Amino acid sequence: MEGRIGRELWGLNKMRKNADTKYLIEILFLLKNSIDGEFNIL
């Protein structure tokens, strides 16, 4: 029982880390695009 719960928590933590990484990458792309856009306007 404890082992199964531990594995599920580990899986959730891993999924959350992947989601955080994906979110950060998307934010970086948005920032880069907005910066590029501002330079294009100038």
Structure pTM? 0.52
Domain residue limits, the chain: 1-42
Please give the pLDDT value at position 15.
85
Please give the pLDDT value at position 41.
60
C-alpha to C-alpha distance for 35 and 4, rounded to whole angstroms: 46
C-alpha to C-alpha distance for 42 and 5, rounded to whole angstroms: 55
C-alpha to C-alpha distance for 42 and 33, rounded to whole angstroms: 14
∠ CA 33-34-35 to the nearest 5 degrees?
90
Under 8 Å CB-to-CB from 8, ≥6 apart: which residues?
Answer: none
Helix runs in 1-42, H state only: 2-41
Report mean pLDDT in 10-residue bins for the chain, 42 residues: 79 87 91 80 58
